[in-house]
């Protein structure tokens, strides 16, 4: 199981130093923990934890002020990168074409993209919206490369709201994605916490979870991991 911790834009230098110490004490056995901190903390090496970037430039290294390239991330030892998180799509107007370019940059640098997709409003046609988005994002990628991408199903209406789809609803969407992309790992994200994890995990359809708000509370993350590993 993968537990991906998306810190978003949180933690000052001293707060992160404390968080890092707590992270070292996190007990986990076969769960793969990937930390997505602010870029400024990506050079930290934390034993037992893999590093991921919350974003990557759609361009290579060069005259792109404010950007961080996949090549730079690779040199830091970053193994994963989120692409197309709903906050990037909604606040920074990122499109599927941007996601496509970012994925290409990442794959060229041996970094695994975690592509976030999800419907904006609770709708019965969620699966179709998602499949269309995936098809558009994967334009011109080889089947070999498509397989390397981890898909994170994150209904936008569930992110940071405390409202989650039922296990059955998640299962329906995930199974629909698997009909088209049977070889990709799939995560669920959106208001996952140490209480609802049991219900979610019971369905046993996803390969892990992408966690935002709760990632800031490692005491709660420990409880969540204990439940997953039980």
* Complex with ligand PGA: residue 52 or 109, whichever CB lies closer: 52
Q: How many C-beta neighbours within 10 Å does residue 155 have?
A: 27
- Does residue 167 contact residue 190 with C-beta atoms inside 8 Å? no
What is the rounded (10 degree) CA torsion for 45, 51, 56, 62?
30
Considering only residues 115 through 154, tell me which ones interact with ligand PGA, judged by CB under 6 A: 154
* Complex with ligand PGA: residue 89 or 148, whichever CB lies closer: 89
Active-site option among 85, 87, 94, 119 = 85
Considering only residues 189 through 218, tell me which ones interact with ligand PGA, judged by CB under 6 A: 189-192, 210-214
**Residue least distant from ligand PGA (Cβ):** 212
Give the nearest distance from C-beta 75 to ligand PGA in angstroms: 26
The question of whether 71 is a catalytic residue gets the answer: no
Chosen residue from 42, 51, 107, 159 binding ligand PGA by CB under 6 A: 159
* Complex with ligand PGA: residue 107 or 164, whichever CB lies closer: 164
* Complex with ligand PGA: residue 54 or 127, whichever CB lies closer: 54
The question of whether 203 is a catalytic residue gets the answer: no
Active-site option among 10, 154, 198, 203 = 154
Residue with tokens 């050079």: 43
Chosen residue from 59, 160, 176, 227 binding ligand PGA by CB under 6 A: 160
Give the nearest distance from C-beta 2 to ligand PGA in angstroms: 13
* Complex with ligand PGA: residue 16 or 209, whichever CB lies closer: 209
Contact between 165 and ligand PGA per CB under 6 A: no
Contact between 224 and ligand PGA per CB under 6 A: no
Annotated catalytic residues are: 85, 154
Enumerate binding residues for ligand PGA (CB under 6 A): 6, 154, 159-160, 189-192, 210-214
């Amino acid at each position: 199981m993968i537990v991906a911790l998306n810190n978003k834009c949180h933690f000052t230098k001293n707060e992160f130093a404390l968080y890092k110490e707590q992270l070292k004490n996190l007990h986990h056995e076969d769960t793969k923990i990937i930390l997505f901190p602010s870029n400024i903390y990506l050079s930290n090496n934390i034993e037992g934890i893999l590093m991921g970037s919350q974003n990557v430039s759609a361009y290579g290294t060069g005259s792109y002020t404010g950007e961080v390239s996949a090549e730079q991330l690779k040199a830091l030892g970053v193994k994963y990168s989120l692409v197309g998180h709903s906050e990037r799509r909604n606040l920074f107007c990122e499109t599927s074409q941007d996601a496509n370019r970012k994925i290409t940059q990442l794959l060229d640098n041996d970094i695994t993209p975690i592509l976030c997709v999800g419907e904006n409003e609770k709708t019965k046609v969620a699966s179709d919206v998602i499949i269309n988005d995936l098809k558009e994002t994967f334009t011109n990628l080889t089947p070999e490369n498509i397989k390397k991408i981890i898909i994170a199903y994150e209904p936008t209406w569930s992110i940071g709201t405390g409202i989650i789809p039922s296990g059955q609803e998640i299962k329906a969407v995930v199974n629909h994605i698997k009909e088209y992309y049977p070889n990709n790992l799939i995560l669920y994200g959106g208001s996952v916490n140490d209480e609802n994890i049991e219900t979610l995990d019971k369905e046993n359809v996803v390969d892990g979870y992408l966690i935002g708000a709760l990632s800031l509370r490692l005491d709660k993350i420990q409880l969540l991991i204990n439940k997953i590993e039980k």
